[in-house]
Every structure is written in structure tokens, then in C-alpha cells.
Amino acid sequence: MLMMTLKRNIVTMVSVALLSAIGCECTPKASVEYLNPGTVLPDGLPFSEAVRVDNTLYLSGMIAVKPGTLELVSGGIEAESRQTMDNIKLTLEAHGASMEDVVKCTVMLADISEWGAFNEIYKEYFDGRYPARSALGANGLALGALVEVDCIAVVNGD
């Protein structure tokens, strides 16, 4: 009886070890694409405009640059907020997505007291189904921007 139990335990351990090894090899690796189409950001920057992992699209933080340049628009928080959101929309569209696909945003404001002004512009880009969001005051945004927004979108797995 003891020998039979011992044999059964050894068979179980070997089976678990084999299944674990096989399971690791059979698990499909995520498909990752680093996307730098130059839609908004110029070439040569040390980060990707977006990264697609399977059906999730991660956008780098966008600021209010004129597409294809590193020049910020002028006009204060309203103009920068609008250009930032336009840049997000352009980037999404370049990868077959839309604002409707956005599920999470992180908003960084150089002056958190501008939160209300930013929100007025931000709301225009969604149909009432707002993504989850975090907002924070940040010191020293890239190029002296007043606002930066990064987003995550879930897209069709075409």
C-alpha cells in the first residue's frame, strides 16, 4: 500500500512538471508592435508614438505640438488642450482606432488649477462615455507644455 501511494505521488509530480513545461511552451506570446508613423511626432525621438500589444494600444503622452514638429501651439490652456486632444485623435486614427476606443487617460497639468478649463475641452472629444481617468499637477512637462495626456485604447484584433 505504501509503495502504491509513493508510486502514485511520483507519477503525479512528474505529470505536473511535464504539464507545466508544456503549458509554458504552448502559451502564445503577445504580439507587440512599436508604432512610429510620424503622424504627430517627428522621427528620431527616443520613444514610440504608440505601442500595440495584441488588441491594446498604448499612446505615449501627447502634448500640444503642431503635427510633425516639436513646436507647441500658442494660446494658453484652451489651445493646448484642444491640440493635445486633436493629436491623440490623429494618433488613434493612424492605427485604426478612435476616441470611442479609449478606456483610460492620464492627464498631467502644469497648473492643476487649470483642471476645469481642460475638462471643458476634454469633454468635447467623448460622447458621454468617458474613459477612466487620472489627473495630476506636474512640474516641468516636455517642451514647457501646459498639458500632457496619455491614453490606452482597446481596438479590434484585425
33-58: per-residue pLDDT in tens? 999 888 898 888 899 999 999 999 99
Name the nearest CA neighbour of 61 among 145, 142, 149, 147: 149
Rounded CA gap, 22 and 116, in Å?
54
Could you say which residues of the chain have pLDDT below 70?
1-26, 157-158
- The structure's pTM equals 0.81
Domains of the chain: 32-154 (3.30.1330.40)
Q: How many CB atoms lie within 10 A of CB 101?
A: 19
Q: Give the strand pairing for 102-109 and 56-62.
A: unpaired
